[in-house]
Amino acid sequence: MPESSKSPFVVVANRLPVDRITTADGQTWRRSPGGLVTALHPVLQAEAGCWIGWAGGEGEAPAPFSLDNMQLSPVPLYADELRNYYEGFSNATLWPLYHDAVEQPAFHRHWWKSYEEVNRRFADRAAETAAPDGVVWVQDYQLQLVPAMLRKMRPDLRIGFFLHIPFPPAELFVQLPKRLDILRGLLGADVVGFQSPGAAQNFLRLTRQLLGLKPRGHLVEAEDGRQVRAEAYPISIDTVSVERVAGSPAVHSHAERLRKELGNPKTVILGVDRLDYTKGIEQRLKAFRELLADGEMSVPDTVMVQVATPSRERVEHYKALRRTVEREVGRINGDYGRLGVPAVHYLHQSYSREELAALYLIADVMAVTPFRDGMNLVAKEYVASRLSNDGALVLSEFAGAAADLKQAFQVNPHDLDALKSVLLTAAASPVEEQRRRIKSMRRYLRGHDVKHWARGFLTALGVPETATAYDSDNTPETST
Ligand code: GDG
């Protein structure tokens, strides 16, 4: 690649922020859903930077292209790598282990080999793409080896790494057969960012325990003598843009239509999650079933809407979860639904940003009850969408968002009785109380949006503030 076309700012993530779609006019690209994409798109747009990632699909990658002022550089993943690097080591080893082992992590040596090979490919691409003295920001658990690999090839770069999911306590992390490689991989960065201070502490403690390093405050001197910063930078949403979508007349009329279609219930309880076992969907359904059985809630006064976006459908735990959730929904509707009025409206589909916003508008109670979650942007999107300041957010203590959204109705989702009781309390809460809580959380999200997150991280990485400014008005509203 000629020096002149190299990029001063590069994001490296497992996925490109786009999906290939087929329209009447042929194939095209559009922005895809997902927390990472939601968070980084505005920053990239402002930087006119380059995003390196997998474009979806097996085998050869499309040629680099640009979309919405971003250069996109697709990296290929082959069928065996999708099985071993992606579904295997990333999503059946690291994902469950980092989420408190809520499902048993599996370890296979050939998964690790593939993880290394794919990390090498991403690192090579970043080394080719970044301009001299440029900044490379590596994202998430699929690419933890990239910082050290890249540093070896390009010591001139400033390298950041951000982990979107939790970083586990030492007792769990030490189970990982390749724990030293992962720690050293991360230490290749100048700044390692986490969602919570606890996660940063877990990491720093492990550098002492496993590598004999001596962390001081947020800093640790790596084995090559560099100072590495490990700190929390809690991610957030593009608050202004979420508010704008929620305030649009089209979304309002869609919300009115939806409420009518649901039979104008007094209370709508909403869940919006990727269909993932960390999200606590089964437990939430169970709580609702018991509330119906106890006569504390009844159909058609109260209905639940559960959007479960399809996710990782070839991974065994996810197949099993889908069966369990769908059995539970069937059971609840069989026992408590009425003709034309199911108790649970279960939607195993992806929606547009506007459709999601309309759902947020009709949700009297938003149930966000993961067993463990790095942050959870859905909780923040719900709050920001409630322009009328009413509504009740039920939020798990184990979501990173609980540290930011302190006025939510917080709950331990493992405690079924507590979950039932908080759902009842939230549903019955007086509107003045709801307004007080939502208002204060909305205020918080205004000051702590995704721009604030990106700026905090990049400032720590030594990138001047002007370079991270962006205008959220550039974000197209219909591009998800
Ligand atoms: C990981 C971490 C962390 C969902 N369904 C649709 C759709 N979504 C959007 C939501 C939200 C995002 O996807 C989901 O983000 P979450 O934060 O809730 O969860 P994860 O996907 O698990 O994200 C998480 C996040 O990374 C960011 O760091 O918060 O802890 O696990 O924005 O609105 N968007 C559209 N259609 C859907 O059907 N358009």
pLDDT at position 463 is: 87
Cα-to-chain-centroid distance, residue 350: 15
pLDDT at position 38 is: 61
The span from the CA of 224 to the CA of 37, in Å, is 33
Which residue from 40, 10, 17 is spatially nearest to 129, judged by alpha carbons?
A: 10
Residue 276 sits at φ, ψ, to 5 deg, of -135, 140
Shortest-distance Cα residue to atom 33 of ligand 1: 378
Shortest-distance Cα residue to atom 38 of ligand 1: 350
Shortest-distance Cα residue to atom 23 of ligand 1: 35
Q: Is the CB of 14 under 6 A from ligand 1?
A: no
Q: Which of ligand 1's atoms lies nearest the C-alpha of 379? A: 18
Q: Is the CB of 166 under 6 A from ligand 1?
A: no
Shortest-distance Cα residue to atom 36 of ligand 1: 351
The span from the CA of 255 to the CA of 434, in Å, is 20
Which residue from 477, 354, 475 is spatially nearest to 68, judged by alpha carbons?
A: 475
The span from the CA of 97 to the CA of 113, in Å, is 18
Q: H or E segment at 383? A: helix 377-385
Catalytic, 373? Answer yes
Centroid of ligand 1 to alpha carbon of 274 (angstroms):
7
Total H helices, total E strands in the chain: 17, 17
Query: 3-class DSSP state for residue 182?
Result: helix
Centroid of ligand 1 to alpha carbon of 339 (angstroms):
33
Between the alpha carbon of residue 337 and those of residues 302, 304, 316, 341, 435, the distances in Å are 11, 11, 30, 6, 32
Q: Is the CB of 39 under 6 A from ligand 1?
A: yes
How many CB atoms are closer than 10 A to CB 13?
23
pLDDT at position 23 is: 85
Pocket test for ligand 1, best of 377, 396, 457 (most atoms within 8 A of CB): 377
pLDDT at position 36 is: 61
Centroid of ligand 1 to alpha carbon of 140 (angstroms):
14
| Region for 19 from its dihedrals, namely left if φ exceeds 0, alpha if ψ lies in -120 to 50, beta otherwise | beta
pLDDT at position 330 is: 97
Pocket test for ligand 1, best of 378, 453, 475 (most atoms within 8 A of CB): 378
Q: Is the CB of 377 under 6 A from ligand 1?
A: yes
Catalytic, 164? Answer yes
The span from the CA of 433 to the CA of 435, in Å, is 5
Q: Which of ligand 1's atoms lies nearest the C-alpha of 374? A: 30
Catalytic residue from among 164, 218, 254, 317: 164
pLDDT at position 37 is: 65
Name residues whose C-beta falls within 8 Å of residue 259's C-beta, 6 or more positions apart in sequence: 265, 268, 362
Do residues 385 and 239 lie in contact, with contact meaning Cβ atoms separated by under 8 Å?
A: no
pLDDT tens for the chain, 480 residues long, are 777 788 889 999 999 988 888 888 888 888 775 556 666 776 677 666 899 999 988 999 999 998 877 889 999 999 999 999 999 999 999 999 999 999 999 999 999 999 999 999 999 999 999 999 999 999 999 999 999 999 999 999 999 999 999 999 999 999 999 999 999 999 999 999 999 999 999 999 999 999 999 999 999 999 999 999 999 999 999 899 899 999 999 999 999 999 999 999 999 999 999 999 999 999 999 999 999 999 999 999 999 999 999 999 989 999 999 999 999 999 999 999 999 899 999 999 989 899 999 999 999 999 999 999 999 999 999 999 999 999 999 999 999 999 999 999 999 999 999 999 999 999 999 999 999 999 999 999 999 998 899 889 999 999 877 555 544 444 333 222
Q: Is the CB of 41 under 6 A from ligand 1?
A: no
Pocket test for ligand 1, best of 163, 307, 360, 376 (most atoms within 8 A of CB): 376
Q: Which of ligand 1's atoms lies nearest the C-alpha of 349? A: 38
Q: Is the CB of 378 under 6 A from ligand 1?
A: yes
Pocket test for ligand 1, best of 41, 239, 274, 352 (most atoms within 8 A of CB): 274
Between the alpha carbon of residue 125 and those of residues 1, 6, 164, 416, the distances in Å are 10, 11, 22, 48
